[in-house]
Amino acid sequence: MLKRKVSDRFEVELPWYAVPRLLGVASEIPLTGRGKRDTEATASLLKNLVCSVKGGPDSTAEDLGSAVTEIWRRYVGDPEDLRSFTESGADSLTAVSVRGDLLEKLDVDVPLPVIIGGNVRDLIDASHRVRAGVHAGHLSSGQGLVRLRGASQGDQSAKNVQWVFLPPMSGAVTRYLRLSRLLPDSHQVSACETARADLEGGFATVVSAMSDAIAAEIPFDADLRLSGFSLGGVYARAVAVELASRGFTRCSAYLIDPPDPSGHVTSERTAFLVFAQVGLAIPGDGARFLRGPAATGKVSEVRGEDIDWHELLTAAVATGMATFNEGTQTLRDAWEVYRLNASILSSCDADNLVGQLPPTRILVGATGEDIGYDGAVAERGEKTQAKIEPVAPSGAWSKICPAATFDRLGVDHFALLDPPHDVAVAQWLTGNVEPSTPGTA
């Protein structure tokens, strides 16, 4: 009860990204003989508290998924059929029971609209987001390097593999959460978020800041694998080049359908539609939250006064992607990250990305470097997992990375990380598909 009251107070007083996701109780803070805080003893105490709250030092992503599945089975029905909460015939009282069990047994607080609006797989994803301290929507907190998943205690030969995913237009790590759990358990997985202040400095400033964050946490001799979707792929190549110049000798890049870094700019209006309909998962036309010429598309610029922030917040709360406690400021800050990222490549000097090294692999989607943003807001009905096939190098990236291997997954750009295609992408990242040969079709 005490932890619940403290948590409720935090949610009122703090912004969402600063609210602690784990709370434990200690009788005292360890002190040295001089009456100052004993840092080593405090660190040990915190580690033990985390283990006790999470369910022990061996608590894994699989454990969390299994526990959520059993709660679903108890209240909603068979989780294997992947029917949605409402399709299973469950009601709002059932949702309250599910939320209560998640909170009591797993210390995971999932909003009711998220529970009601999805199936068991969506609930597992939401629980992982809460556990990782990541916002429900594709919104950046600007917190730098975020640990998505630690390595298991299994295969020691792969313990030094470190994945770092770089942010797409949202600037957030949310899109990589499911993908991170499809990678080998022995690999450690992190992701970078972008801060608004860095974006205002341009592409080179963002790359430098993300490189600094990675270099501060990951050893120089690590098997460092940088990846990113869409704009994140451009960032991945740029950061890989930068870190290789700093002495990371085992650095490689895996670019997932990156746009042409020298000629790709997204209009602010298009970026806003992606923000509303993908980032906040609001159904329908996102243009209804715009006012004036921006609403009709007569102008592509979207200023703060062109957005009905209160209507947008209300719609985001209904999808479980925001809370009224956050207010509109969180949405305003998140939109600024989208807006700045939409034009960030106008400050990218593609010549700085050119070279044989670091080793780079590129996965292109159905449309290659020509991204169709209509796919971001459309209902994507692709349910059959497509096959990854080698393709001949082409476009701007064939000149930037002349030694890169190219593969193709023939689905819409914005569906690449959706199930079931995320499984194919994870296999491609780990080399579990037939390798391509440069220059072959």
pLDDT in tens, 189-241: 999 988 888 999 999 999 999 999 999 999 999 999 999 999 999 999 999 99
- With contact defined as beta carbons under 8 Å apart, do 313 and 324 qualify? yes
DSSP 157: G
CB under 8 A, 24+ apart: contacts of 2-6? 4/103
Q: How confident is the model at residue 382 (pLDDT cuts 50, 70, 90)?
A: low
Backbone φ and ψ for 286, nearest 5 degrees, come out as: -65, -15
CATH topology of domain 145-264+346-429: Rossmann fold (3.40.50)
Burial (CB count <10 Å: 0-12, 13-18, 19+), residue 317: middle
60-132 and 145-264+346-429, same CATH topology: no
User: Residue 155 above 60 pLDDT?
Assistant: no
Place of tokens 């406690």: 325
DSSP 202: -
Residue (of 188, 197, 199) closest to 223 by Cα position = 188
The reported pTM is 0.72
Measured CA to CA, the distance from residue 187 to residue 155 in angstroms comes to 9
Measured CA to CA, the distance from residue 136 to residue 133 in angstroms comes to 9
- State the pLDDT at residue 94: 85
User: Residue 65 above 70 pLDDT?
Assistant: yes
Mean pLDDT of 365-394: 70
Place of tokens 């990371």: 248
Other beta carbons less than 10 A from residue 111's beta carbon: 19
Residues with Cβ < 8 Å from 232, sequence gap 6 or more? 165, 166, 167, 168, 256, 258
Maximum Cα–Cα distance for the chain, whole Å?
71
The highest-confidence range among 25-34, 40-49, 415-424, by mean pLDDT, is 415-424
Backbone φ and ψ for 409, nearest 5 degrees, come out as: -120, 105
Q: What percent of the chain has pLDDT over 90?
A: 37
Measured CA to CA, the distance from residue 337 to residue 199 in angstroms comes to 7
Q: Domain map of the chain by residue range?
A: 1-59, 60-132, 145-264+346-429, 268-274+283-335
- Indicate the CATH number of 60-132 among 3.40.50.1100, 1.10.1200.10, 1.10.10.10, 3.40.50.2300: 1.10.1200.10
- What are the pLDDT digits (tens) for 1-19? 455 567 666 656 665 445 6
Measured CA to CA, the distance from residue 163 to residue 148 in angstroms comes to 10
Measured CA to CA, the distance from residue 248 to residue 251 in angstroms comes to 6
More confident residue, 104 or 55: 104
- State the pLDDT at residue 112: 78
Quote the Cα angle for 289-277-180, to 5°.
145
More confident residue, 378 or 274: 274
Mean pLDDT of 329-346: 90
* 307-to-3, 291, 330, 335 alpha-carbon distances in Å: 38, 6, 14, 10
Report the SS3 class of residue 149: strand
Mean pLDDT of 380-408: 84
| Mean pLDDT of the chain, nearest integer | 81
- What are the pLDDT digits (tens) for 296-329? 988 989 999 999 999 999 998 888 787 777 789 8
Place of tokens 């957030």: 172
- State the pLDDT at residue 440: 37
User: Residue 175 above 90 pLDDT?
Assistant: no
Measured CA to CA, the distance from residue 424 to residue 417 in angstroms comes to 9
Q: How confident is the model at residue 436 (pLDDT cuts 50, 70, 90)?
A: very low
